[in-house]
Structure 1
Amino acid sequence: MSKPLTQAPKTSHKSLLFSEVDLDLDNFRADIAVLGMPYGAAYTPGDYNNDQTNAPTAIRQASDRVIRSPERYDYDIGGPLLQGRTDIRFVDCGDVPADLNDPRAHYARAEEATRKILKGGAMPIILGGDHGITNPILKAYDDQGPLTIVHIDAHLDWRDEVNGVTDGLSSPMRRASELPYVKDMYQIGMRASGSARPEDVEAAAAWGSKVYTAYELHDRGMDAILDEIPDGGNYYITIDADGLDPTCMPAVAGPAPGGVTFLQARKLIHGLVGKGKVVGMDIVEIQPEKDFNKHSCMNAGRLILNLIGASIRAGYFDKNR
């Protein structure tokens, strides 16, 4: 018998938003599936076990702050979490563990786990971990294209390498651009300074990424940006917590004022659900030790709740669709 790809979440809340735990990815069928990916690709030895690795557990632990119980009416989504649908299967597949004897094995396991989730018919929702985790996740979408990447972040994430590591937290958008099935990229919320050099900004522009600073977003509004994203796409949403304003997402390594508001992020999610099909989403780079009153984890959970409720209302999981 092969070794399981994931392990059960380590939290008193056994799953995110009271979902069913299902670790049997070899016989997997579901509509919506949570996967924890705590570990990225470290740039230094100290990065292997930084506080972001605790975020999947912390986000699950905030479940009863996100929604008191799944059957209660929620005004964000116009009904209860699963919209009263008893036929919707919402599961938590646990966390992809690290392997101290093989420091890169978790990337291969994350890719394989995501492939099995997709094969089982589910929309993956990934809990990071740092932003490097988006690299192996996107590799599993090679038969789901063409993909449009919609990226909320304060930072561009187009570095080619850092300390010789090419698939770490500063590189996911450059690596995504190299995937033949990634068609378009929209990057929203850029501000302040990160690891990008001028040549990285030039590389993003040359590839064709559409970059919107936070200030352009605030001046024009999220509706204007949504209007520029083509209808009918397969959208993968990747949210770096520092892309949101620190007033709603304070527990990050590099808080910068002027970020995407919760209302703007919610509008983006609902807008993309209605324009085409959201095929997955990740939320990364929350540092729980900085999360006063679980504020960041709760808001991450609220964004996930909005995706779940909106996608069910849009008919994503209607069996005769």
Structure 2
Amino acid sequence: MEQLTVAPRTGHKTLLYSELVTNLENLQADIAILGMPFGSAYGPRSYTNDQTNAPQAIRDVSDRIVRHPDHYDFDIDGPLLQGRDDIRFVDCGDVLPDLNKPGDHYRRVEIAVREILKTKALPIVLGGDHGITTPVLRAFSDLAPITLVHVDAHLDWRDDVNGIKDGLSSPIRRASEMTHVAKIVQIGLRAQGSGRPEDYEFAKNYGAELISAYELHEVGMQAVLDRIPDGGNYYLSIDADGLDPTIMPAVDGPAPGGVSFIQARQLIHGLVKKGRVVGMDIVEIQPSKDNASKVTCVTAGRLIVNLIGASIKAGYFDKK
């Protein structure tokens, strides 16, 4: 098999002290971290946008997210891996572009995720801008039907920007074209983004559940969870600007009134209990804008911790 990923470049070698495995052939894993730093650029200045630094920035605060993996964690009612010695938690490194093959990293990340899914593992992808969700989500075609649960301030239904159809403004539009995606639920919408009135109408006509941040705050996350079908396969895509900038300030388009950490945690635990979360990504963090406490990256890490702990407690990885 071709080499799909490379080891993280600096600082912490892996996220949350997981085992580094960059050879994905015959991978053995239950939970797998994968970095996807680069999306699909809209112009020459965005080839190396600040989001490309986010996967490593999140890894580098591992000791702030979880100081001791074997200590009790109140978010998940136990230690990180719930005291389970049989759970294999790995970091598969990063999928990087090949300058000789523009766009080929989208093909390789899809293959990488498919290799992870072959093992029945839970892939957790660190972006990168939101364009990375498109090739990642393509890899879930064998798990149809998928309910896409999208946390974001922005709509992300543009058909293209500057002729680019798989960039950061288009992942939900592209998801709507995937036959294995049966339902789309978007949570935390507010303020302005790249979406125009015609993009909003397209999303409504498709049948996407569009839940503004203000509706969420009025009705509560449990009411939102009740609108998501039970017993499904859920892919969770979290744009950092979907959360309130008081807890995730390091984003390009901060907008007051976003999803709280309490609500995001409730969403994760609720989805785990409703059915099976088959994958998650966290995108659009700009590390240079984070404050001294690195609260944006720490918050991203704590969301990952909640998914890991909740999925283990729910029996996702119990061996038959």
Is structure 2 residue 48 aligned with structure 1 residue 49? Answer: yes
| Structure 1 counterpart of 2:303 | 303
Q: Partners in 2 of 1:149 and 1:107 — Cα distance?
A: 19
Letter in 2 for 1:301: G
Look up the match of 2:231.
Answer: 232
What is residue 213 of structure 2 aligned with on the other side?
Answer: 214
What are structure 1's unaligned runs of at least 5 residues? Answer: none
Cα deviation digits, residues 83-139 of structure 1 (max 9, x gap) = 000000000000001111222011011111011011122110000000000000011
Give the aligned partner of residue 175 of structure 1: 174
Query: Take 1:102 and 1:263, find their aligned partners in 2: how far apart are those partners?
Result: 42
In the alignment, the residues of structure 2 paired with residue 11 and residue 242 of structure 1 have an alpha-carbon distance, to the nearest angstrom, of 26
- Could you tell me how far apart the structure 2 residues matched to 1:266 and 1:248 are? 13
Deviations along 1:129-152, one digit per CA (max 9) or x if unpaired, are 000000000111110110000000
Matches within 5 A, 1:123-162: 123-162=122-161
Partner of 1:62: 61
TM-score, structure 2 as length reference = 0.99
Q: Whole-Å Cα distance in 2 between the matches of residues 231 and 319 of structure 1? A: 24
Instruction: Flag as ranges the 4+ runs of structure 1 deviating above 4 A.
Output: none
2:10 pairs with 1:4? no
* Cα deviation, residue 11, structure 1: 2.5
What displacement does 1:175 show?
0.3
CA-based RMSD of the aligned residues comes to 0.7
- C-alpha displacement at 1:12, in angstroms? 2.0
Number of the residue aligned with 2:286? 287
> How many positions carry a matched residue from both structures?
319
Work out whether 1:113 is the aligned partner of 2:112.
Answer: yes
* Residue in 1 that maps onto 2:245: 246
CA distance in 2, matches of 1:117, 1:138: 13
Q: Which amino acid aligns with 1:272?
A: L
Cα distance in 2, alignment partners of residues 65 and 264 from structure 1 = 21
1:206-231, Cα deviation, whole Å (9 max, x unpaired): 11100000000001100110011111
Aligned counterpart, 1:194: 193
Instruction: Give the counterpart letter for 1:250 in structure 2.
Output: P
Q: Which residue is 1:99 aligned to?
A: 98
* Distance in 1 between residues matched to 2:28 and 2:137, nearest whole Å: 20
Residues 29 and 121 in structure 1, CA contact (< 8 A), matched pair in contact too: no
Distance 1:144 1:294 in 2: 35
Q: 1:3 Cα shift?
A: 3.8
Q: Percent identical across equivalent pairs?
A: 67
One-letter amino acid of the counterpart of residue 231, structure 1: D
TM-score normalized by structure 1?
Answer: 0.98
